[in-house]
Structure 1
Amino acid sequence: MAWYEGAFFYQIFPDRFFRAGPPGRPAPAGPLEPWEAPPTLRGFKGGTLWGVAEKLSYLLDLGVEALYLNPIFLSTANHRYHTADYLQVDPLLGGNEALKHLLEKAHAHGIRVVLDGVFNHTGRAFFAFQHLLENGEQSPYRDWYYVKGFPLNPYGKNPNYEAWWGNPELPKLRVETQEVREYLLFVAEHWVRFGADGWRLDVPNEIPDPEFWRAFRRRVKGANPEAYLVGEIWEEAEAWLQGDIFDGVMNYPLARAVLGFVGGEALDRELAARSGLGRVEPLQALAFSHRLEDLFGRYPWAAVLAQMNLLTSHDTPRLLSLLRGDVARARLALSLLFLLPGNPTVYYGEEVGMEGGPDPENRGGMVWEEGRWRGELREAVRRMARLRQAHPELRTAPYRRVYAQDRHLAFTRGPYLAVVNASDRPFRQDLPLHGVFPRGGEALDLLSGARAKLQGGRLLGPELPPFALALWQEV
């Protein structure tokens, strides 16, 4: 079984996690946006990779097993999707030295680190684009981009070259050019040999050539056969998950399903629609289970186990904002992630109840003041992570629906029966077992410690509080 199948991932936006410098030295100085101030499109808050390393104890206590870092390479943007140098970690984040330190410290504690690969486009400061800007048609790099005319117009509203979504700051790379392909494949291999544990690939569907991605996989897996490759695909992804391109994708369809089931009518659908999440509809238990079954049935089982199962990311509003501040629903949504096949993935700050709408509001400075935490959210994530570590079959076993009515769902994961109450009223756990727990006797809820009788082919348990779940094991 691969390390990334069922691992608990934590996504970090490096500029916004924690300010720190190398041991004994200060963090990079400069005019920074106040940490507590609302985030802006252009402002920098000064988080570093030294800071991520310093907070590994917090992440270990939470139960995190792998980090997904938003881009870390030299860039003119706080989010660093405007790459200026693919071979240099941004000095504002601590440079290559800080990445090496983080990798060594994380690996020493059993935590893997996955980098964000932005290979569809560069920033205007990238060397090939700068050379083209200075030398025009005479530049040897003229075939690295899709140029429509000279001289280049990089600062007007209508660039005369192809750019990501027409944004002149993001000129699109011509990946069919052999030199470009070789350069990107070299970069991909370089950082895996440096120690990174894989790549999350930004907008890979905008490089539609599957042969490039197959070559990408060969180069990366050749450098480290255990490296994890996950694509940013927002919809169903059969073509990407046949074992020859990606191991998994960011599972936004599952996010929409969980939000629709747990959020119900309380979900801020207008806020969701204004983001990459798009349309999210309320779901009853049976419709929710059908959606899960459809998603799990679309892909080879290894790909299902490798899916990056998330609720939110740097591209969506934050969980508590989507749920209109309803902490109980947020707690249930986060908890449910850990009982489904795939990699439960938490965006930094969701576990303490940070709020925020679409970009840039969703990229605030991490809240480190414990008095401001929604402690019940953090404790739920911490508890579910430990439960999953203690019971490995929760990582590997298939999903099987046992009961679904109104907003109440029961399903098995191997020898365990999960019961979910996504309603605002208590739910009496009197359920048909359909062959689950055939010995009879008693079952133990691994979360609450409660016991239930197993008789007459039914589970007879206590009331489950609103927006809560139980995980039963035969004893």
Structure 2
Amino acid sequence: MADWIRHAVWWHLYPLGFVGAPAQADAGAPVAEHRLSRIEGWLDYAVELGASGLALGPVFASHTHGYDTVDHFRVDPRLGDDRDFDALVAAAHGRGLRVLLDGVFNHVGRGFPAFAEVLRRGPAAPTASWFHLTWPQAWQPGTEPEYATFEGHHGLVALNHGEPAVAEHVAAVMEHWLDRGADGWRLDAAYAVPPEFWAEVLPRVRAAHPGAYVVGEVIHGDYAEIVAASGMDSVTQYELWKAIWSSLNDVNLFELAWALDRHNDLLASFAPLTFVGNHDVTRLASRLHDERHLPHALAVLFTVGGTPAVYAGDEQAFRGVKEDRAGGDDAVRPEFPPAPDGLAPHGWDTYRLHQHLIGLRRRHPWLHRARTRTLHLANGQLCLEVRGEDARLVLALSLDDHTTELPAPEVTSVHAGTAELLRPGRPDAAVRLQPHGWAVLG
């Protein structure tokens, strides 16, 4: 894995929504508006937040939401063209921001040329082997086959990952955009693709781009085994994501402590991509029952091991509920104003909290592979020791309605949050937290 990822904090955005692109389009249409350039106006905002990388959702030609790709080699005409992409990458790199692209390689849209050829020519199509097809016994021209889909969505045609031509295509796409300046890939729905496919593709890509970072979207399963078998650098840590908000809502920090023990096991082999929000889930500010606990979630995100990602808008405490219906993602994928000065005033305190915690994170890059140890645990109280490379921090959380005192051996200072130190520097040192308080200690 490239050394630069050790210092990475991603600012993740969903481009089609961010720039207000139309919900549907002809992926072959000419570019009518160069919307991708709007993102450039937000790069200084990302840098000031403390991010070191820009993680982009889908930017390739599609019919609707970007995950029904029809041309992996073309920028979505609703966003712009190659020149717009090149300008965005150059502007990001000029500010020290890496660029991560979203690769949708488990499935394609119905307009994808290889599938369109199947619909035109039937079983004789040279690209028929790219898909899992079932033809009627008495096939006639114009008759569609049944085909495997992604999670039952008729517009998302699953690729056959046992077909060598598919592996060739995916490797060529990944190399093409890395050649153009991208620094890595998020592999969408990686959990639905056999790890052996990535084990074939990624060595080819890394032969030309050894510094590229590759993280897979994996929701469930044996994370460590998937990383080992696939050759990816990392996967998404959904288990920890769920434990953070759920333990806060239920006032059950035993759940979080258990998940962090599991997280420690993962860190022995790789650094997971950690997050408290993304483009597929209800926003944290809407998910939490008690808004006083939003800082607690962020304190966990930025002090435990892994590579943190902030979903654009979460740093402003945006609200939005994901719903399981057509258009159910819209609330968590809104259009942003043309520039940061168009944001509502009430979100800037949360932005400044992110700045403070990200700054703490980046001053302690050893946190990337740090392990945690529980010093104190109750339903509404948790004190964690975070260690790595002969360095140490202590995270103290309280969900209680009363003042609490938690053991914090040998701490001498408060790095973030609000707390009173008792007997600082001594083995019996403790920290006093106000109701629903939190602190990062050193």
Q: Does 1:301 align with 2:268?
A: yes
Judging changes above 3 Å, is the alpha-carbon distance between structure 1 residues 199 and 152 closer, same or farther for their aligned structure 2 residues? farther
Partner of 1:93: helix, strand, or coil? coil
From 222, 244, 260, the equivalent of 1:292 is 260
| d(CA) in 2 for partners of 1:55, 1:456 | 46
Q: Report the alpha carbon displacement of residue 222 of structure 1 after superposing the two structures with TM.
A: 1.5
Unaligned runs of 5+ in 1: 20-31, 34-40, 265-281
Contact 2:418–2:439, Cα closer than 8 Å, also in 1: no
Give distance in 1, aligned partners of 2:214 and 2:425. Answer: 46
Does structure 1 residue 443 correspond to structure 2 residue 382?
A: no
Equivalent position amino acid for 1:14 in 2: P
**Is the 2:394–2:408 Cα contact (8 Å) retained in structure 1?**
no
Q: How many residues in Structure 1 have an aligned counterpart in Structure 2? A: 417
Write out per-residue CA displacement over residues 235-265 of structure 1, whole angstroms, 9 at most, x where no aligned residue: 241221227521111110000111122222x
Q: How does 1:150-161 map to 2 (within 5 A)?
A: 150=139, 151=141, 160-161=146-147
Q: Deviations over 1:16-73 (max 9, x none)?
A: 2246xxxxxxxxxxxx66xxxxxxx7599x8933122221011011111112211110
Instruction: Write the letter of the residue equivalent to 2:39.
Output: V
Deviation at 1:395, TM superposition (A): 3.0
Q: Residue 34 of structure 2 contacts residue 81 of structure 2 at CA under 8 Å; is this kept in 1? A: no
Cα 1:432–1:54, aligned 2, differ >3 Å: closer, same or farther? Answer: closer
Distance 1:372 1:87 in 2: 40
Quote the residue 1:229 is aligned against: 214
338-347 or 463-472, which deviates more = 463-472
Verify: 1:238 aligned to 2:207, yes or no. Answer: no
Contact conserved, 2:60 with 2:73, CA < 8 A, in 1?
yes
1:199 aligns with 2:185: yes
2:8 counterpart of 1:12: no
**What pairs up with 1:206-355 in 2 under 5 angstroms?**
206-208=192-194, 210-235=195-220, 236-242=222-228, 245-264=231-250, 283-284=252-253, 286-297=254-265, 299=266, 301-303=268-270, 305=271, 307-324=272-289, 326-355=290-319
- Given the alignment, which residue of 336, 342, 349 partners 1:366? 336
Aligned mates of 2:161, 2:433 — CA distance in 1: 54
Residues 1:354 and 1:180: Cα distance change in structure 2 (over 3 Å): same
Q: How many angstroms does 1:5 deviate by? A: 2.9
Match of 2:178, SS state, is helix
Q: Write the deviation string for residues 180-215 of structure 1: whole angstroms up to 9, x where unpaired.
A: 22111111222112211111111123222x332112
1:233 Cα deviation after fit: 0.7
Quick one: distance in 2 between partners of 1:377 and 1:153? Answer: 55
Q: Name the % identity.
A: 29
Report the equivalent of 1:279.
none
**415, 420, 428: which is aligned to 1:458?**
428
CA offsets per residue over residues 109-137 of structure 1, 9 Å max, x none?
A: 11111111111111111111112222223
Write out aligned runs for 1:170-189 (5 A). Answer: 170-189=156-175
Assess if the C-alpha contact under 8 Å between 2:9 and 2:308 holds in 1.
yes
Among residues 134, 142, 147, which one is paired with 2:128 in the alignment?
Answer: 142
Kindly state the Cα deviation for residue 419 of structure 1 after the two structures are TM-superposed.
3.1
Q: What amino acid is the match of 2:424? A: L
CA contact (8 A) 1:115 1:199 kept: yes
User: Structure 1 464/123 Cα, relative in aligned 2: closer, same or farther at 3 Å?
Assistant: same
Q: 1:308–1:403: structure 2 CA closer, same or farther, 3 Å change rule?
A: same
What residue in structure 1 maps to residue 352 of structure 2?
379
What amino acid is aligned across from residue 397 of structure 1 in structure 2?
A
Q: Report the Cα distance in structure 2 between the residues aligned to 1:456 and 1:329, rounded to whole angstroms.
A: 29
Q: Does 1:418 align with 2:394?
A: yes
315-324 or 79-88: which moved more? 315-324
TM-score scaled to structure 2, two decimals?
0.87
Distance 1:316 1:459, change over 3 A: same
Residue in structure 1 matched with residue 29 of structure 2 by the alignment: none
Q: 1:456 deviation in Å?
A: 5.5
Cα distance in 2 for residues equivalent to 1:421 and 1:217? 41
Contact map agreement 1:73 1:80 (CA 8 A) in 2? yes
The answer on whether the counterparts of 1:6 and 1:344 sit within 8 Å (CA) in structure 2 is no
Runs (4 or more) in structure 1 with deviation over 6 Å come to none
Distance (Å, rounded) in 2 between the aligned partners of 1:124 and 1:147 = 13
- Give the Cα–Cα distance (whole angstroms) in 2 for the partners of residues 152 and 340 of structure 1: 56
- Structure 2 CA distance, aligned partners of 1:6 and 1:422? 29
CA deviation after TM superposition for structure 1 residue 392, in Å: 2.6
The aligned amino acid for 1:229 is: V
Structure 2 vs 1, CA of residues 419 and 238 (structure 1 numbering), >3 Å: closer, same or farther?
closer
Change beyond 3 A, Cα 1:450–1:146 = closer
- For the residue of structure 2 that corresponds to 1:317, the secondary structure is coil
User: In structure 2, what is the equivalent of residue 38 of structure 1?
Assistant: none
- The residue type paired with residue 46 of structure 2 is L
Consecutive unaligned residues of structure 2, counting only runs of 5 or more, are 27-32, 323-328
Q: Is the 8 A contact 1:17 1:47 kept in 2?
A: no
For residues 432 and 65 of structure 1, the distance between their equivalents in structure 2, rounded to whole angstroms, comes to 31
| Secondary structure, aligned partner of 2:384 | strand
CA shift in 2, pair 1:380/1:160, >3 Å: same
Contact 1:164–1:172 at 8 Å: present in 2 too?
yes
Q: What is residue 390 of structure 1 aligned with on the other side? A: 363
State the alpha-carbon separation in 1 of the partners of residues 66 and 308 from structure 2: 25
CA drift of 1:90 comes to 1.0
Q: 1:182 to 1:118 in 2, by over 3 A?
A: same
User: Mean alpha-carbon deviation: is it higher for 404-413 or for 54-63?
Assistant: 404-413
| 1:373-404 alpha-carbon deviations (Å, 9 max, x no partner) | 42222111111011112233333432222222
